[in-house]
Amino acid sequence: MGGEISLEELQLAARNHGLPLEALRWDLTPVGLHYLLIHYDIPEVDPAAWRLELDGLVGAPLSLSLDELRARPAREVVATMECAGNGRALLEPHVVSQPWLLEAVGTARWRGVPLRSLLDEAGAAEAAVEVLFTGLDRGVEGEEEQDYARSLPLDDALHEDVLLAYEVNGVPLPPQHGFPLRLLVPGWYGMTSVKWLARVTVLAEPFDGYQQRRSYRLRREEDEEGIPVDRIQVRALMIPPGIPEFATRARVVRAGEHVLEGRAWSGEAEVAGVEVSDDGGVTWAEAELGPAALGRWAWRTWRCTWDARPGERELCCRARDESGTVQPLEPPWNLGGYANNAVQRVAVTVVE
């Protein structure tokens, strides 16, 4: 591998946790292995004093305690969440930001109040076009001091699976996942699911804050308006087979028959299939795709048998979805380093 990253980027990599790829083996990612991207600092929240404010273009603003939210009818959604910057460190030219390789993903069972039920309760006005979500995490970005804030078009916000979540995998949110309450928008890249939620505001105009107008847009030049990043692009990842060398993470595999396994997901459409290559993507074989056992928004298993012949091999996997999208062999470059869903490549040495 070529490329180098600075100590400033390393500071981000040391804070923002990735999924070790062997953890793809679990349907639900154990807490502590799910990826985390925290723009500023994890805020300290006193749950007794905390309230969610729901205001803006509504008939009756709401101000709710955590107990009041927990007393309302709840819904659970299993969702695979991925960072929009996953794959960024593999791009050339180099893009400076959180340097993810492939590991910015995780799947969890989130429980909370459907946002729609609260918007119904407050009575969103006819003129509403977007809903803005503001977190308690504060910092500086693009020379603007800001609370982290992102919006959703009203139609997307009204989807029945959009939750204000207070539990993950059966326990209260840990601090790093947004305690006491976070937004969860299944199928969208993770920046959408605002953590440490303080305020939900119904808007008559599209939000033009930093995280919407300047960040999280696909563009090749600074002065382009660009296309907003939204739904998760199709991707498959494999559990690297064999055993690793400590410093290089190079894999050693015994010759013979192996089962290759992994997960595939897409926020755009249902996953349609996964192929596997052991020659760096020259030839491909279809893998067996598991059922959508965890629901529409979660990753699916895939597996195939692989006859490992001695020598140097490059394993790849690529998924496609029902929208017709196939993972590219080469990464699509953009200025922010977003939505790089190029195929994973795992170099292995097969030994007798």
Residues that bind its own copies in the complex, under the rule CB under 8 A: 1-8, 10-15, 17-18, 20, 22-23, 25-26, 30-34, 36, 38-42, 44, 89, 96-97, 99-101, 103, 138-141, 145, 174-177, 240, 243-250, 252
User: Quick check: helix, strand or coil at residue 92?
Assistant: coil
Q: Nearer to its own copies by C-beta: 139 or 228?
A: 139
Length of the chain as a residue count: 352
Q: What angle do CA 210, 84, 283 make, to 5 degrees?
A: 155
Q: Nearer to its own copies by C-beta: 187 or 190?
A: 190
Minimum separation from the CB atom of position 222 to its own copies (A): 15
Q: Nearer to its own copies by C-beta: 44 or 225?
A: 44
For 64, phi and psi rounded to 5 degrees?
-125, 135
Q: How many Å apart are CA 62 and CA 55, to the nearest integer?
A: 7
Q: Nearer to its own copies by C-beta: 10 or 125?
A: 10
Minimum separation from the CB atom of position 73 to its own copies (A): 28
Q: How many Å apart are CA 75 and CA 116, to the nearest integer?
A: 11
**Residues 320, 234: contact at Cβ < 8 Å?**
yes
Q: Exposed/middle/buried for 7, CB within 10 Å: 0-12, 13-18, 19+?
A: exposed
Q: How many Å apart are CA 300 and CA 316, to the nearest integer?
A: 17
Minimum separation from the CB atom of position 96 to its own copies (A): 7
For 30, other C-beta atoms within 10 Å of its C-beta total 12
Minimum separation from the CB atom of position 97 to its own copies (A): 6
Minimum separation from the CB atom of position 241 to its own copies (A): 10
Q: Nearer to its own copies by C-beta: 44 or 352?
A: 44
Separation in Å, CA 76 to CA 63, 122, 145, 160, 280: 23, 22, 35, 11, 39
Minimum separation from the CB atom of position 159 to its own copies (A): 28
Q: Nearer to its own copies by C-beta: 137 or 275?
A: 137
Element (H, E) at 137: strand 130-141
Q: Nearer to its own copies by C-beta: 99 or 267?
A: 99
Minimum separation from the CB atom of position 296 to its own copies (A): 26
Q: List the beta strands (DSSP E) in 8-88.
A: 52-56, 62-64, 75-82
